[in-house]
Amino acid sequence: MAAETKQNTENATAGEESPLLTVFRKEAHESMLHRINLASAFKLTPQELRTEIENFVVDFAQERRAQITKREQIAIARELVDDMIGFGPLEPLLEDEAISDIVVNGPYQIYYEKKGQMQLSTAKFRDDSHLLQIAQRIAHRVGRRVDTSSPLCDARLPDGSRVNIVAPPIALDGTSISIRKFSKKAITLSGLAVNGSLTPEMVRVLQIASTCGLNIIVSGGTGSGKTTLLNALSQLIDPRERIVTCEDAAELKLQQPHVVRLESRPPNIEGKGEITIRDLVKNALRMRPDRIVIGEVRGTECIDMLQAMNTGHDGSMSTLHANRAREAFVRLENMVAMSGFDLPSEIVRAQIAGAVNLIVQTERLHDGSRKITEIVEVTGLNERGDIGYQHLFKFVPLGEDADHRVFGKFEVGTDKPVFLEKAIIYGLDKELLEIMQKLKKEQDEVNENEYTI
């Protein structure tokens, strides 16, 4: 099975097949629709169906005296099964764990990102209707729909991967599918440190911050790894705590035993029955949560999230789109304004400063790697009435190596975090202070030596 999956992936990502094989595949598909009882086929298990289709392909090849190998016959049978119960030509790409993103621009253009590089796949859909059929199958499995009256859809795959679908008439060149895959293996902060996204000392500081119940916002651009980082941070939550998650499309994978997952719902065809993220956050407050985790805050739900953070739900987490930590504060202010509350700026900023403790900024660098570029601590309102903050850590790029990979260093901004006071309650103040002072001293010594030289 592993060899078969590898071969199918290679077929989908490299090399062109012969015209003979293309014609045989098309004829086999058309013949199968006439010869196989689909109602009976769908009652079979996936493995039974695969065997049935493989036998059909072998018989069909003998009938046509087609000069195709056994491996090609198995591959075609696999494709036919994927068309019937899977996701068609996307299946091999979905099974390749090294692929992180898949984007479909119409039936004949499928791109995938592998090791930080976007590449064009040789896999194609048969036509527009085939692509739309697969898109509708994806949406249907999570109770959503895609058609001319509802051409936009956010969904998820069984493995939790996030999917966005845009269909005609909105998509002018055919249905578009964007898939953000998530690793089947649980990603930890320590694992991210091994990959160079942050340092072991930063991991420990974040562990202490989570234990102390700091409210954390993960900020970053599209594809920067916000959800991955949020999943990793959520693993630090005490398993005894009750967690309520609120998401548009459920993709968080919390490992704790006491988790309630809530998912928004779009309006039905009559325009009724919509459940927004804001509705979920409001309801979450009535469910006696210890922590509330919001997959992404992007609108009116922001005011409810801030109120939750300000009213005893310490240790809550969320993500938002912003290119810099400082921009995250501006985004929060703007989203509060979207909530319909006519509040003075100083009140809004006081609300944010009282609710948010840490901004963890993640970024996808031009070499495809992902780094935590800033960990910013909110210090309160300054004398001008603005949100005050200080850097705990900041990534400073220094250049590229021979393989064009970005390298740099993590600078320490202070040796005395504000949340040191909270750490005292948990008996973690000495460890936190030792880490920050040690790093700051080492950094100052390096800077002094560089200046002396």
Same domain, 218 and 80: no
Domain boundary among 35, 64, 85: 85
Same domain, 275 and 292: yes
Same domain, 362 and 384: yes
Residue 75 main-chain phi, psi, to 5 deg: -65, -40
- Block residue for tokens 């091999």: 92
Q: How confident is the model at residue 453 (pLDDT cuts 50, 70, 90)?
A: very low
Q: What distance in Å separates the CA atoms of residue 112 and residue 94, rounded to the nearest whole number?
A: 10
Question: Residues near 160 by Cβ (< 8 Å), separated by ≥ 6?
Answer: 182, 250, 251, 253
CATH of the domain at 133: 3.30.450.90
pLDDT (tens digit, 9 = 90+) per residue, 395-446?
A: 999 888 888 888 899 999 998 999 999 999 999 999 999 999 999 998 988 8
CA of residue 84 relative to chain centroid, distance: 27
Indicate if the pLDDT at residue 234 is higher than 60: yes
Average pLDDT over every residue of 154-178:
88
Same domain, 180 and 265: no
Beta carbons of 99 and 115 less than 8 angstroms apart: no
Run of H or E including 398: strand 387-400
User: Considering only CA atoms, which of 234, 230, 228 is closest in space to residue 218?
Assistant: 230
Beta carbons of 201 and 432 less than 8 angstroms apart: no
Average pLDDT over every residue of 252-263:
88
More confident residue, 28 or 174: 174
More confident residue, 154 or 436: 436
Predicted local distance difference test score (pLDDT) of residue 317: 93
Same domain, 366 and 394: yes
Same domain, 261 and 336: yes
Instruction: Give the amino acid at 307.
Output: Q
Residue range of the domain that includes 319? 189-452
Predicted local distance difference test score (pLDDT) of residue 41: 65
More confident residue, 39 or 377: 377
Indicate if the pLDDT at residue 12 is higher than 60: no
Indicate if the pLDDT at residue 28 is higher than 60: yes
Same domain, 368 and 353: yes
Predicted local distance difference test score (pLDDT) of residue 3: 47
Same domain, 80 and 171: no
Indicate if the pLDDT at residue 14 is higher than 60: no
Same domain, 39 and 121: no
Predicted local distance difference test score (pLDDT) of residue 395: 95
Beta carbons of 436 and 414 less than 8 angstroms apart: yes
For the chain, what is the domain count?
Answer: 3
Domain boundary among 85, 120, 155: 85
Indicate if the pLDDT at residue 141 is higher than 70: yes
Bridge partners (DSSP) of residue 447 are: none
More confident residue, 32 or 201: 201
* Percent helix, strand and coil across the chain, each to the nearest 5: 40, 20, 35
CATH of the domain at 382: 3.40.50.300
Q: Which long-range contacts (CB under 8 A, 24 or more apart) does 9-14 make?
A: 9/92, 9/93, 9/95, 9/96, 11/75, 11/92, 11/122, 11/123, 12/89, 12/92, 12/93, 12/121, 12/122, 12/123, 13/92, 13/93, 13/96, 13/112, 13/114, 13/119, 13/121, 13/122, 13/123, 14/122
User: Considering only CA atoms, which of 257, 265, 264 is closest in space to residue 281?
Assistant: 264
Same domain, 96 and 77: no
Same domain, 112 and 252: no
Q: What distance in Å separates the CA atoms of residue 271 and residue 43, rounded to the nearest whole number?
A: 35
How many other C-beta atoms lie within 10 A of the C-beta of residue 33?
Answer: 11
Question: Residues near 113 by Cβ (< 8 Å), separated by ≥ 6?
Answer: 99, 100, 101, 102, 119, 368
Predicted local distance difference test score (pLDDT) of residue 200: 95
Same domain, 81 and 97: no
Predicted local distance difference test score (pLDDT) of residue 39: 60
pLDDT (tens digit, 9 = 90+) per residue, 354-387?
A: 999 999 999 998 888 899 999 999 999 988 889 9
Q: What distance in Å separates the CA atoms of residue 137 and residue 143, rounded to the nearest whole number?
A: 10
Indicate if the pLDDT at residue 310 is higher than 50: yes
- Block residue for tokens 């791109």: 111
Predicted local distance difference test score (pLDDT) of residue 106: 93
Domain boundary among 167, 184, 201: 184
Average pLDDT over every residue of 135-146:
86
Indicate if the pLDDT at residue 72 is higher than 50: yes
Beta carbons of 227 and 251 less than 8 angstroms apart: yes
The tokens for 205 are 């500081």
Predicted local distance difference test score (pLDDT) of residue 176: 95
